[in-house]
Amino acid sequence: MGNKKVTAIVLAAGKGNRMNTSVAKQFLMLGGKPVVYYALKAMEDSSVDEIILVTGRDQKDYCRDHIVKPYHMNKVTQIIEGGKERYDSVYRGLLSICETDYVLIHDGARPFITKEQIENIIHGVIEYNACILGVPVKETIKMVASNGYITSTPDRNKLWAAQTPQAFAYEAIKKAYTIFWQESDNTKAAITDDAMVYEAYLGNSVKVIAGDYSNIKITTPEDLVAAEVLLNTITF
């Protein structure tokens, strides 16, 4: 992207507990290809300069031999081992980059990210320094106490579901993660996306860019059924 370097971190080191399959969900077959192929392909075909693939120790060879090499994903410069939690995998990805201007952090379990949305998020990060894709929530969301009773109902007009890619100026997000890193495991556990780390540890705001409802994260078994249908409706 011009004279600015853009690096994508694609996360594929999760165990997929909620999916409950023996093969981790990012490697399940979707249209004859492993789920994580699609996100890598979209990044490869975009103006991203470099891709870091983060995966399990025992999955690195599979990724190299069955995805990166055969599909000529030449922008993948490193396949590295992730960590126990998503934030561990992100931090390892950030530390593995030797030099870049902007970083896009993307869930490998979101196969329907398009080249167009990637370009939107790149333009966004150049303009705002930090931005994420998101969509307005469709359902009414309830705050529910541990006893099962509703405690409040946030105004739906203000609620957006956060997606990935989430994009940041590299030095800023690395700094935020480095501070976050010192926190206790309990504090860390409350963090569920990268924008939270950026907001909480740098105090800077993050812009939301309207994404697409089809950019689903494969999380539970019915998401894979939906993904098979979506695969036939999306032109990448």
Beta strands 50-55; 76-81: pairing state = parallel
b/e map 158-170, b = 16+ CB within 10 Å: eeebbbbbbbbbb
Radius of gyration for the alpha carbons in the chain, expressed in angstroms and rounded: 17
Does 17 bind ligand CTP (CB under 6 A)? Our answer is: yes
Does 217 bind ligand CTP (CB under 6 A)? Our answer is: yes
Does 111 bind ligand CTP (CB under 6 A)? Our answer is: no
Does 163 bind ligand CTP (CB under 6 A)? Our answer is: no
Only one residue has tokens 């705002």, namely 128
Does 12 bind ligand CTP (CB under 6 A)? Our answer is: yes
> CA-CA distances (angstroms) from residue 212 to 27, 118, 155, 163, 200?
23, 12, 21, 9, 26
Q: Looking at 6, 8, 16, 168, which residue binds ligand CTP (CB under 6 A)?
A: 16
Beta strands 207-210; 130-136: pairing state = parallel
Nearer to ligand CTP, 83 or 161 (CB): 83
Q: How far is the CB of 2 from ligand CTP (least distance, A)?
A: 29
Nearer to ligand CTP, 75 or 110 (CB): 110
Q: Structure tokens of 112?
A: 């329907």
Contact range with ligand CTP by CB under 6 A, out of 18-26, 71-79, 133-141, 178-186: 18-26
Q: Structure tokens of 2?
A: 């011009």
**What does the binding site for ligand CTP look like in residue numbers (CB under 6 A)?**
11-19, 26, 54, 82-86, 88-89, 107-109, 217, 219
